[in-house]
């Protein structure tokens, strides 16, 4: 461009790496641009400043650049049609609008369409079609002749044949041609129709036998290759068969399974050592903050909160709700169903808690089940049959049960409350309960409907509660629980979060109860069998070897509390305590973690098996006391009982009803407990032998075993247990290596080399956090924009002033000109008048 129009912004210093945007400016160009823009916008506004009527462009989408022209046209057309629609004469029913295609009436085209032949000469009536017909029909078409004649005409220009004659001739010819064509077409049409008719007659006869060639010919003749075409198309578009995955051999399957298990195991080990990268990063800081701050505020609000949140498993809340719901449901249920249910329930053997709500018991089979059943029945039937055969072959033996089971509906809705859930299972055999649970799971699989996930998550809570209830019965139905664990496991696999939440809630409740009892009475007692079962279930559902686990770690804490806080006053307490010891051992069997409470408790158990008043070389800790009530709880003095004892497993059902059993039995149970204790000591020894202070840990127990236990009085079996435990303790090598700290990374010396910071953008301050930087940036941008806006407004004003000035100038100029004109005309008038006068004078 013109160098005189370029303005260079001179820089005082050259700075390496700096990019400058504004070193060259084109003031003229930009000014003219600005003026142009103002002409288009500001000036217009200025000119129309006192005008109220506006020109509106109502063409559809005229200024909308987003829609394509075609679409715009289509929309406009539609709008137009809409406008016309309904405005016609209401009395004229038949007058439809005319449909067109490429501007031609569709009705007309349709009329001609019955001519099947596609020679298409009707439309093209000009010379070209004539030419075509000539070529096709061979019969010296008019065109040739016409051409010849026209050539002739050209040649013999001067011939006497007049122009009019020629034209008439042409017209006549073309008319003739047209007629011929028409007749020919009609005859062809007739022929084809006849052929069609014949073909149809024959077709039935030679449906199969026609050789291909013939068929092809005929089809070629016929322009309607319907079926064939369709088939060809279909074949063409049909999905090609894809190579499916090869079926795996058993070996491969086994290998895959092994690989899967290995991966899971590796995962478990990683969690056991607690080397979770994220966790490792987060936890330490988290921990310390928690440790200091958390301790004292925790106490109060949590329980209230949860009981609202997890209403599903909260017993107190539940029962209130249940009562209401039960009433409602009674009203709702359909009559025919009630009858059915009555029959069913009569057939079933009455169980303890059934009598009171026999009628109520099946109210949960809501009336909509019936219809569902019909719909899905068939499908489900097959599935379930297969499953039944697989899973329960026991029941086949029992025809009665089979019959009873056949009455089970195939679809179940997920019970909404624990009460309904319980009544659903009440009175059923274990197998039936399993089937019911399985069907509930199947019918309400989360992939089938949206709300199913939440429902099944609730089901887990119900099932857990149900198990707890079974365990707290006078005669705990442990066999049933044993079976019910399976669906529990499956549900847990499906919804780990919900499952962990429910179990955590139960644990929290239990721990809270324990804490309350301790606060009130100062001492706690062991909880019921249900808590123990829950703890056992935790070990079934979750990996207990993890360094930290949302469910298992609280369970550990709870168990530790049980072993340290609960008083040992009866044999049941001992059994429960030993059960928890077993749980501890099971929990840590893989991770080999150290559990001091376990050792303490085992020591205590040994202690209470000894006669009183012995010189002690050991100290027992809480809950056992060197003196007190619970001494000699496990001591058996009866020689007869000692002799008749045989090692047998302790039945868990003994826990709630020990009082009824005979003295001998009690003595035997005591001995069994003692044997169990020996075995646990042995297992502990095996587990902890790698700990550096193994001997210090086991020292009190060994001391007690070697010095105080009256081995010789024990029956032989017991002596075996005793010796195996003692051997396990004694034959460990004492092995101590002095501790050495890990070497610390040396702290680098302070140095005075300049700190080098990477400069990302020049002219911008680097310091400050990201947020601060952003804020600064925003402020700066705001300032810049404000300045720009002020500048623009100023320029606008200048422009407007200029415009006004020029307007005034123009106006003035016009006035001056007019004045001049007037004066001029006056002058000329005057002049003329004077001239006239002078003439007169002359004359």
Partner 1 sequence: QLPTGLYKKVLVILHDSILPYMNEPTLMMDFLTVAYGIGGAISLLALNGLFILIHQHNLEYPDFYKKLYNLLDPSIYHVKYRARFFHLTDLFLSSSHLPAYLVAAFIKRLSRLALTAPPEALLMIIPFICNLFRRHPACRVLVHRPGGPADMSEDPYVMEEEEPSKSRALESSLWEIQSLQNHYHPDVAKAAAVLNQSLSEMEDDISGLLELSAYELFDKEVKKKAVDVPLEFEQVRGLFGKKNDIFAEHFSLD
* Residues 246 to 275 in contact with partner 1, rule: CB under 8 A: 261, 264, 267-268, 271, 274
Half-sphere exposure of 270 (CA within 13 A, CB side): 12
User: Judged by CB under 8 A, does residue 824 bind partner 1?
Assistant: no
- 124, 169, 229, 302: which one contacts partner 1 (CB under 8 A)? 302
Query: Phi and psi at residue 152, in whole multiples of 5°?
Result: -55, -45
User: Judged by CB under 8 A, does residue 500 bind partner 1?
Assistant: yes
Binding string to partner 1 for residues 736 to 775, with x set by CB under 8 A, is what? xxxxxxx-x-------------------------------
Q: Which is nearer to partner 1, 410 or 584 (CB)?
A: 584
Q: Which is nearer to partner 1, 463 or 578 (CB)?
A: 578
Query: Which helix or strand (DSSP H or E) is residue 716 part of?
Result: helix 716-730
E strands, 229-373, where? none
Q: Are the CB atoms for 538 and 552 separated by under 8 Å?
A: yes
In this chain, which stretch among 18-26, 243-251, 582-590, 705-713 interacts with partner 1, using CB under 8 A?
A: 582-590
In this chain, which stretch among 225-233, 489-497, 634-642, 765-773 interacts with partner 1, using CB under 8 A?
A: 489-497
Quickly count: other Cβ atoms within 10 Å of residue 501's Cβ.
Answer: 21
Q: Are the CB atoms for 447 and 456 separated by under 8 Å?
A: no
In this chain, which stretch among 188-196, 219-227, 450-458, 487-495 interacts with partner 1, using CB under 8 A?
A: 487-495
- 130, 436, 485, 729: which one contacts partner 1 (CB under 8 A)? 485
Q: Which is nearer to partner 1, 446 or 543 (CB)?
A: 543
Strands 104-105, 24-25: pairing kind: unpaired
Quickly count: other Cβ atoms within 10 Å of residue 651's Cβ.
Answer: 12
Rounded least distance, CB 730 to partner 1, Å: 15
Long-range contacts of 682-689 (CB under 8 A, 24+ apart): 682/724, 682/725, 682/728, 682/729, 683/585, 684/585, 684/598, 684/599, 684/602, 685/725, 685/728, 685/729, 685/732, 686/728, 687/585, 687/588, 687/589, 687/592, 688/592, 688/594, 689/732
- 131, 322, 515, 689: which one contacts partner 1 (CB under 8 A)? 515
Quickly count: other Cβ atoms within 10 Å of residue 431's Cβ.
Answer: 19
- 541, 571, 631, 681: which one contacts partner 1 (CB under 8 A)? 541
- 76, 592, 723, 776: which one contacts partner 1 (CB under 8 A)? 592
Cα gap 526→623, rounded to integer Å:
12
Binding string to partner 1 for residues 214 to 253, with x set by CB under 8 A, is what? ----------------------------------------
Q: Which is nearer to partner 1, 611 or 626 (CB)?
A: 626
Q: Which is nearer to partner 1, 143 or 671 (CB)?
A: 671
- 3, 295, 399, 754: which one contacts partner 1 (CB under 8 A)? 295
- 43, 486, 635, 658: which one contacts partner 1 (CB under 8 A)? 486
- 188, 189, 691, 800: which one contacts partner 1 (CB under 8 A)? 691
Q: What is the largest CA-CA distance in the chain?
A: 185
- 536, 567, 607, 708: which one contacts partner 1 (CB under 8 A)? 536
Binding string to partner 1 for residues 607 to 626, with x set by CB under 8 A, is what? ------------x-xx----
Rounded least distance, CB 428 to partner 1, Å: 19
Cα gap 370→368, rounded to integer Å:
5
Rounded least distance, CB 404 to partner 1, Å: 24
Q: Which is nearer to partner 1, 84 or 690 (CB)?
A: 690
Q: Following DSSP, what letter does each residue of 400-415 receive, concatenated?
A: HHHHHHHTS-S--PPP
- 380, 546, 573, 641: which one contacts partner 1 (CB under 8 A)? 546
Rounded least distance, CB 735 to partner 1, Å: 7
Q: Which of residues 623-682 bind partner 1 (CB under 8 A)?
A: 648-653, 672, 676, 679-680
Question: For the stretch 746-755, what's the b/e string if a residue is b when 16 or more beta carbons lie within 10 angstroms of its beta carbon?
Answer: eeeeeeeeee
Rounded least distance, CB 443 to partner 1, Å: 23
User: Judged by CB under 8 A, does residue 694 bind partner 1?
Assistant: yes
| Contacts of residue 390, Cβ cutoff 8 Å, sequence gap at least 6 | none
Q: Are the CB atoms for 526 and 569 separated by under 8 Å?
A: no
Cα gap 444→456, rounded to integer Å:
7
- 443, 529, 533, 718: which one contacts partner 1 (CB under 8 A)? 533
Q: How many residues bind partner 1 (CB under 8 A)?
A: 112
- Cα 437 to Cα 179, 208, 530, 536: the distances in Å are 87, 59, 21, 21
- Cα 685 to Cα 21, 598, 679, 701: the distances in Å are 79, 12, 10, 11
- 21, 200, 734, 755: which one contacts partner 1 (CB under 8 A)? 734
End-to-end C-alpha distance for the chain, whole angstroms: 73
Rounded least distance, CB 445 to partner 1, Å: 19
User: Judged by CB under 8 A, does residue 326 bind partner 1?
Assistant: no
User: Judged by CB under 8 A, does residue 558 bind partner 1?
Assistant: yes
Cα gap 44→46, rounded to integer Å:
5
Give the pair of three-digit tokens for residue 461.
């809570």
Q: Are the CB atoms for 130 and 177 separated by under 8 Å?
A: yes
- 392, 561, 570, 773: which one contacts partner 1 (CB under 8 A)? 561
| Contacts of residue 505, Cβ cutoff 8 Å, sequence gap at least 6 | 306, 310, 313, 314
In this chain, which stretch among 85-93, 189-197, 492-500, 784-792 interacts with partner 1, using CB under 8 A?
A: 492-500
Q: Which is nearer to partner 1, 137 or 594 (CB)?
A: 594
- 9, 553, 727, 804: which one contacts partner 1 (CB under 8 A)? 553
Q: Which of residues 791-810 bind partner 1 (CB under 8 A)?
A: none
Cα gap 757→246, rounded to integer Å:
59
User: Judged by CB under 8 A, does residue 567 bind partner 1?
Assistant: no
In this chain, which stretch among 103-111, 200-208, 385-393, 685-693 interacts with partner 1, using CB under 8 A?
A: 685-693
Query: Phi and psi at residue 602, in whole multiples of 5°?
Result: -65, -40
User: Judged by CB under 8 A, does residue 585 bind partner 1?
Assistant: yes
Rounded least distance, CB 466 to partner 1, Å: 14
Q: Which is nearer to partner 1, 512 or 816 (CB)?
A: 512
Q: Which is nearer to partner 1, 104 or 262 (CB)?
A: 262
Cα gap 732→277, rounded to integer Å:
36
Provide the H-helix boundaries in 160-224: 163-205, 212-221
Q: Which of residues 172-201 bind partner 1 (CB under 8 A)?
A: none
Q: Which of residues 359-398 bind partner 1 (CB under 8 A)?
A: none
- 133, 502, 525, 600: which one contacts partner 1 (CB under 8 A)? 600
Query: Phi and psi at residue 638, in whole multiples of 5°?
Result: -65, 115
User: Judged by CB under 8 A, does residue 492 bind partner 1?
Assistant: yes
- 489, 570, 686, 773: which one contacts partner 1 (CB under 8 A)? 489
Q: Is 256 left (phi over 0), alpha (psi -120 to 50) or beta?
A: alpha
User: Judged by CB under 8 A, does residue 35 bind partner 1?
Assistant: no
């Amino acid at each position: 461009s013109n160098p005189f129009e370029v303005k260079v912004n001179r820089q005082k210093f050259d700075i390496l790496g700096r990019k400058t945007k504004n070193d060259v400016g084109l003031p003229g160009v930009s000014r003219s641009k600005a003026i142009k823009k103002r002409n288009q916008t500001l000036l217009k506004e200025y000119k129309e400043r006192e005008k109220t009527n506006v020109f509106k462009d109502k063409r559809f989408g005229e200024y909308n650049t987003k829609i394509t022209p075609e679409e715009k046209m289509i929309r406009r057309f539609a709008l137009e049609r809409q406008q016309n629609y309904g405005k016609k004469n209401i009395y004229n029913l038949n007058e439809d609008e005319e449909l067109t295609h490429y501007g031609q009436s569709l009705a007309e085209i349709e009329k001609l369409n019955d001519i099947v032949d596609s020679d298409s000469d009707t439309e093209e009536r000009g010379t070209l079609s004539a030419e075509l017909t000539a070529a096709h029909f061979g019969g010296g078409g008019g065109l040739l002749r016409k051409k010849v004649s026209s050539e002739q005409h050209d040649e013999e220009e001067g011939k006497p044949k007049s122009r009019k004659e020629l034209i008439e001739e042409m017209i006549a010819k073309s008319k003739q041609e047209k007629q011929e064509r028409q007749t020919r077409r009609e005859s062809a049409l007739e022929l084809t129709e006849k052929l069609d008719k014949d073909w149809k007659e024959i077709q039935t006869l030679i449906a199969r036998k026609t050789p291909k060639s013939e068929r092809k010919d005929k089809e070629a003749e016929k322009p309607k290759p319907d079926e064939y075409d369709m088939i060809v198309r279909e074949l063409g578009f049909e999905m090609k068969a894809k190579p499916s995955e090869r079926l795996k051999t058993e070996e491969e399957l086994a290998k895959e399974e092994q690989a899967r298990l290995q991966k899971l195991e590796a995962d478990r080990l990683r969690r056991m050592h607690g080397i979770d990268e994220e966790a490792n990063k987060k936890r330490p800081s988290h921990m310390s903050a928690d440790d200091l701050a958390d301790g004292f505020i925790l106490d109060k609000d949590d329980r209230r909160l949860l009981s609202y949140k997890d209403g599903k498993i909260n017993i107190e809340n539940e029962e209130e709700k249940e009562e209401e719901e039960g009433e409602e449901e009674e009203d709702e249920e359909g009559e025919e169903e009630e009858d059915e249910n009555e029959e069913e329930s009569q057939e079933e053997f009455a169980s303890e808690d059934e009598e009171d709500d026999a009628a109520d018991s099946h109210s949960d089979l809501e009336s909509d089940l019936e219809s569902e059943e019909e719909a899905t029945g068939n499908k489900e039937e097959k599935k379930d049959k297969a499953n039944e055969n697989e899973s329960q072959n026991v029941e086949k033996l029992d025809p009665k049960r089979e019959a009873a089971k056949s009455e089970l509906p195939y679809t179940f809705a997920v019970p909404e409350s624990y009460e309904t859930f319980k009544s659903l299972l009440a009175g059923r055999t274990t197998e039936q309960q399993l089937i019911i649970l399985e069907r509930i799971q199947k019918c309400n699989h989360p992939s089938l409907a949206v709300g199913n996930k939440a429902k099944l998550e609730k089901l887990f809570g119900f099932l857990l509660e149900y198990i707890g209830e079974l365990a707290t019965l006078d005669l705990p139905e442990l066999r049933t629980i044993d079976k019910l664990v399976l669906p529990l496991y499956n549900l847990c696999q499906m919804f780990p979060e919900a499952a962990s939440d429910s179990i955590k809630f139960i644990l929290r409740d239990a721990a809270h109860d324990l804490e309350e009892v301790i606060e009130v009475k100062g001492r706690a007692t062991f909880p019921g069998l249900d808590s123990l079962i829950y703890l056992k279930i935790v070990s079934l559902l979750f990996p207990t070897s993890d360094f930290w686990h949302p469910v298992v770690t609280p369970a550990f804490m709870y168990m530790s509390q049980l072993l340290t806080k609960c008083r040992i006053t009866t044999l049941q307490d001992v059994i429960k305590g030993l059960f928890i010891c077993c749980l501890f051992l099971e929990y840590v069997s893989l991770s080999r973690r150290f559990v001091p409470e376990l050792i303490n408790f085992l020591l205590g158990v040994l202690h209470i098996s000894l006669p009183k008043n012995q010189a002690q070389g050991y100290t027992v800790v809480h809950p056992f006391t060197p003196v007190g009530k619970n001494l000699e709880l496990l001591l058996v003095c009866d020689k007869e009982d000692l002799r008749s004892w045989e090692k047998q497993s302790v039945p868990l059902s003994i826990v709630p009803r020990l009082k009824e059993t005979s003295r001998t039995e009690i003595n035997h149970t005591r001995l069994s407990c003692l044997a169990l204790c020996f075995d646990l000591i042995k297992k502990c020894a095996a587990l902890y032998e790698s700990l550096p202070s193994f001997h210090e840990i086991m020292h009190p127990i060994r001391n007690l075993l070697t010095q105080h236990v009256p081995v010789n009085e024990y029956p032989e079996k017991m002596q075996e247990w005793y010796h195996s435990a003692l051997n396990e303790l004694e034959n460990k090598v004492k092995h101590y290596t002095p501790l050495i700290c890990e070497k610390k990374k040396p702290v680098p010396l302070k140095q005075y080399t300049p700190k080098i910071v990477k400069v990302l953008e020049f002219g911008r301050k680097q310091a400050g956090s990201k947020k601060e930087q952003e804020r600064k940036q925003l402020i700066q941008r705001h300032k810049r924009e404000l300045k720009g806006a002020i500048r623009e407004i100023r320029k606008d004003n200048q422009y407007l002033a200029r415009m006004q000035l020029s307007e005034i100038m123009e106006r003035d100029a016009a006035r001056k000109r007019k004045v001049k004109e007037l004066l001029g005309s006056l002058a000329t008038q005057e002049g003329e008048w004077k001239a006239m006068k002078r003439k007169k004078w002359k004359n």
